[in-house]
Amino acid sequence: MSYTNGLDKPSDYFNTVLYTGNGNQRNITGVGFQPDWIWGKNRSATGSHNVIDSVRGVSKIIYTNLNDAEATDTSSFNAFGSDGFSVGSQSNVNGNGNSIVAWNWKAGTSFTNDASATGIGTIDSTGSVNTDAGFSIVKWVGTASNATIAHGLGTTPSVFISKSMAGAHSWGVYHKSIGIGSTTLLNSNGASDADATYYGGTSPTSTIMGLGTANATNASGDMIGYAFAEKQGFSKFGSYIGNGNADGTFTYLGFKPAFVILKSSTSSADWELADNKRTTSGGNVIDKELRPNTSGAETGGTDGRYIDFVSNGFKLRQAFGNWNGSGETYIYMAFAENPFVTSSGVPACAK
């Protein structure tokens, strides 16, 4: 099978960069594009996961492991560049001598939706979108009432991550494998919360995202959301059942992954995040982990094999409750390093 959707080079739309902090203002390059969503973490030390985007502004920080309202911090990220970004002295993203990771997504095309004029949604939204990559950043003023907003993707989102900027409220994660009757909280290790108030009983469509009365999805005041639609050979969002075995579950993606984030939806377990840059060997065995709902430093390297990133998916390599508990259901988001077979017929191979 070949792919002809223009995503033969996934690193044009998503890329991970690693660098060593120096505690001083500096430019980080090598992303390959001007990022619109950056998620950074100090791998060496305890500290929050810092998230910025081009819609809210480079100095506006939210933290995946906290329910805190948005903070203004010019010492964290302080500029978007054509091939990366600039950081200041803040230890979470530039601790002196520390190993740092930043995950980067490209949106780039601005949109504004006046709901009353277009008839799309019930409240206005603005944002930035990349329809090729199936990614948009959406900002709206929450109403604490059932509502819908335009997301700009032109296709139905599989995942929608939301956060109040104005209040100390949890992050909501809509995932198609769970549906609109539940959400999973990014800053929590809890199982998915079955509660219809998150999305107001409205399923997402190619034009709108449903919002309910819950603070995680539609609190009064400014809200931000990150919407993702599947793109063949670039991204996939689904679920798998763990087998509790070192010869773990294999999940077919149709590409070699560059980034996987996953969470048990059925029990209390930390979120887990793996990428193709943070490995001991540099090969397809990923043995280092970060947990988006905690401030902990990176673990692994000597703990054994967690997950294999293979040419067409990922395979769990440890009987571990956060990844591969017996009979547990896990939801995941995955982005590609390479499609399994490109539009020119070139296969992707494990390292």
- Whether residue 1 is contained in a domain is answered as no
Are residues 123 and 148 in contact, defined by beta-carbon separation less than 8 angstroms?
A: yes
> How confident is the model over 195-222, as pLDDT tens digits?
999 999 999 999 999 999 999 999 999 9
Does position 274 have pLDDT exceeding 50, yes or no?
yes
Q: Please give the structure tokens belonging to residue 41.
A: 């973490």
Do 252 and 163 have their domain in common?
no
Does position 67 have pLDDT exceeding 90, yes or no?
yes
Bridge partners (DSSP) of residue 200 are none
Does position 342 have pLDDT exceeding 60, yes or no?
no
Does position 304 have pLDDT exceeding 70, yes or no?
no
Query: What is the three-class DSSP state of 20?
Result: strand
> How confident is the model over 277-297, as pLDDT tens digits?
998 877 788 999 999 999 999
Q: How far apart are CA 171 and CA 64, in angstroms?
A: 7
Does position 303 have pLDDT exceeding 60, yes or no?
no
Q: How far apart are CA 298 and CA 300, in angstroms?
A: 7
> How confident is the model over 150-203, as pLDDT tens digits?
999 999 999 999 999 999 999 999 999 999 999 999 999 999 999 999 999 999
Does position 320 have pLDDT exceeding 90, yes or no?
no
Residue ending a domain, among 228, 248, 283, is 228
Do 200 and 263 have their domain in common?
no
- Whether residue 186 is contained in a domain is answered as yes
Residue 304: CB atoms within 10 Å? 12
Q: What is the pLDDT of residue 347?
A: 56
Do 40 and 141 have their domain in common?
no
Does position 349 have pLDDT exceeding 70, yes or no?
no
Are residues 87 and 2 in contact, defined by beta-carbon separation less than 8 angstroms?
A: no
Does position 117 have pLDDT exceeding 70, yes or no?
yes
- Whether residue 219 is contained in a domain is answered as yes
Do 122 and 197 have their domain in common?
yes
Q: Which of 89-98, 123-132, 263-272, 341-350 has the lowest mean pLDDT?
A: 341-350
Mean of all residue pLDDT scores within the chain: 93
Q: Please state the domain count of the chain.
A: 3
Domain extent for 78? 10-105
Q: How far apart are CA 82 and CA 208, in angstroms?
A: 31
Q: How far apart are CA 170 and CA 191, in angstroms?
A: 14
Q: What is the pLDDT of residue 1?
A: 35
Query: What is the three-class DSSP state of 258?
Result: strand
Do 249 and 331 have their domain in common?
yes
Q: What distances in angstroms separate CA 62 from CA 18, 135, 137, 315, one per listed residue?
A: 21, 19, 14, 32
Q: What is the pLDDT of residue 7?
A: 78
- Whether residue 346 is contained in a domain is answered as no
Q: Decide: residue 282, CB within 10 A, 0-12 exposed, 13-18 middle, 19+ buried.
A: exposed
- Whether residue 321 is contained in a domain is answered as yes
Q: Which residue has the tokens 């290790």?
A: 189
- Whether residue 171 is contained in a domain is answered as yes
Q: What is the pLDDT of residue 53?
A: 98
Q: How far apart are CA 346 and CA 351, in angstroms?
A: 15
Do 156 and 203 have their domain in common?
yes
Q: What distances in angstroms separate CA 240 from CA 41, 176, 181, 335, one per listed residue?
A: 27, 13, 19, 16
Residue ending a domain, among 90, 105, 120, is 105
Are residues 332 and 274 in contact, defined by beta-carbon separation less than 8 angstroms?
A: no
- What percentage of the chain reaches a pLDDT higher than 70? 93
DSSP class of 15:
E
Do 149 and 174 have their domain in common?
yes
Q: What is the pLDDT of residue 318?
A: 86
Does position 343 have pLDDT exceeding 50, yes or no?
no
What sign results for the dihedral spanned by CA atoms 202, 208, 211, 216? positive
Residue 351: band (very low, low, confident or very high) from pLDDT cuts 50, 70, 90: low
Are residues 335 and 270 in contact, defined by beta-carbon separation less than 8 angstroms?
A: no
Do 114 and 99 have their domain in common?
no
Q: Which of 2-16, 26-40, 139-153 has the lowest mean pLDDT?
A: 2-16
Do 193 and 171 have their domain in common?
yes
Q: How far apart are CA 196 and CA 173, in angstroms?
A: 13
Q: Please give the structure tokens belonging to residue 340.
A: 């399994």
- Whether residue 96 is contained in a domain is answered as yes
Average pLDDT over residues 238-243: 97
Average pLDDT over residues 100-124: 98
Residue ending a domain, among 80, 105, 130, is 105
Beta strand 307-310 pairing with 285-286: antiparallel
- Whether residue 44 is contained in a domain is answered as yes
Do 181 and 292 have their domain in common?
no
